[in-house]
Copies of this chain bind each other. A is one copy, B any other.
Amino acid sequence: METPRFKEIGRAYGFDEVAIAPGTVTINPEQADIALRIGEIEFALPVLASAMDAVVSPKFAGQLGRLGGLAVLNLEGLWTRYEDAEGVLGELAEAPLDQVTTLFQRLYTAPIRDDLVARRVEEIKAEGVLCAVSVTPQRTKKISPAAVEAGADVLVVQATVTTARHTSKSERGLILSELVNQVDVPVVVGNCATYAVAKELMDEGIHGVLVGIGPGAACTTREVVGVGIPQITATIECAAARDEHFARTGRYVSVLTDGGIRTGGEVCKSMVAGADGVMLGTPFAQAVEAPGQGFNWGMATPDPALPRGTRIRVGTRGTLKEILLGPSVLTDGTMNLMGALRACMGMVGAFDIRELQQAGLVFAPDIKSEGKMFQMAQGR
């Protein structure tokens, strides 16, 4: 009988399946430089806050900016639909779980107000920090001019899956290369998860890509539509596209791993997989300063016909400063994320993130060992 050729299935790795190999050189953690650059802008910390309504408010953007990171405000969420967004957030925090999806579907149908778009940008600028805002590809042409005019410093164009070649029946699609030429600020685009798409996006002239489809704690895209690439492999692919793009064009496009990161170990693994920075949702939703009041949900949650995610209780772990810079009194990796990153760089001997990207990874599934199980069962 002939030997048929069957469809091939490549291996993709997630955070829990890999570990970082220690280096042949070690350095003191305080020698490590962890700065992130997007376009011409440099950030002291390689950390963005997700454009989620429960994570980023204008005030939160000020607090994170002053610590050295960058918060992204969602211009299509509650903050631009409601004057009193905080009141609406309170309503969502108090809704019974079995009614919350319907409530989401209703609340997110209120119209986006142009005046609120501008006002939210101004509120962030008034905090004395750089302002980043996010829009979906469909609404980019409509909303982004007002935001940039109001002073936005970074524009994020984001959908669950974004490519440079979107086909649509009804309208002429967004041409990213045109957008980049029109606005005078760095443009970050996502999400993508493969080499081919990242490469095409970078060829449009953008300044950063968001990597990650389906991995977030507040997202069920993989369950609902089956689509998703685990974050380690997605980051490796997009980082390879960045390196190829840089070698070919001399332009360095930042790779930002977005989704599914909860611990310092996952921040570190993202970098070793090739990221220049990370975008965090749940860890920031757990900050005292977060607007979500101990809850979080993803941007695909309010979909009127096919919601892909729900409200999850994330609790409150500490102040934003403790979560990022410590000191930590928790030992599970969820606090002092930047201290963890520096400690990791010490162990692998990396003076900056670019060197950290060269460290080794091993496939070592974190099946909880008997020892760990023991620990968890016996009174940790």
| Chain A residues with a Cβ under 8 A of chain B | 1-2, 4-7, 9-28, 30-31, 97, 101-102, 105, 160-163, 165-170, 192-197, 200, 213-218, 220, 222-230, 232-233, 236-237, 239-241, 244, 260, 262-269, 272-274, 282, 301, 304-315, 326-333, 336, 339-341, 343-344, 346-349, 360-367, 369-372, 374-375, 378-380
- A229 and B364: CB pair below 8 A? yes
How many copies of this kind of chain does the complex include?
A: 4
Name which residue of chain B comes closest to A325, CB basis: B305
A-B residue pairs in contact (CB < 8 Å), sample of 5: A12-B362, A16-B370, A19-B230, A312-B380, A365-B367
Report the bound CA distance from A328 to B162 in whole Å.
24
Instruction: List B contacts of A339 (CB < 8 A).
Output: 305-306
Given A215-B369, A326-B305, does the pair A20, B226 have CB atoms closer than 8 Å? yes
Q: In the complex the two chains form, is A222's CB within 8 Å of B366's CB?
A: yes
Contact across chains for A7 and B274 when beta carbons are under 8 A apart: yes
Known: A26-B166, A223-B265, A224-B333. 7 other contacts (CB 8 A): A6-B195, A7-B236, A12-B19, A19-B214, A27-B168, A105-B329, A223-B333
A267 to B229, CA, bound (A): 18
**Would B22 and A213 count as touching, CB distance under 8 A?**
yes
- A340 proximity list for chain B (CB < 8 A): 224-226, 306
Which of A230, A262, A364 lies at the interface centre, i.e. has the most chain B CB atoms within 10 A of its CB? A364
> CA A162 – CA B24 in complex, angstroms?
9
B224 and A331 form a contact (CB under 8 A): yes
**A307 interface neighbour in B192, B306, B328, Cβ under 8 Å:** B328
Residues of B within 8 A of A17 (CB): 367
| A196/B9 in contact, CB under 8 A | no
| In contact, B229 and A375 (Cβ under 8 angstroms) | no
Given known contacts A265-B226, A312-B378, is B241 in contact with A4 (CB within 8 Å)? Answer: yes
Which residue in chain B gives the minimum CB-CB distance to A2?
Answer: B244
Contact: A23 with B163, CB < 8 Å? yes
B4 touches A240 (CB 8 A): yes
Give the distance in Å from the alpha carbon of A97 to the alpha carbon of B241 in the complex: 47
Is the pair A265, B225 in contact by a Cβ cutoff of 8 Å? Answer: yes
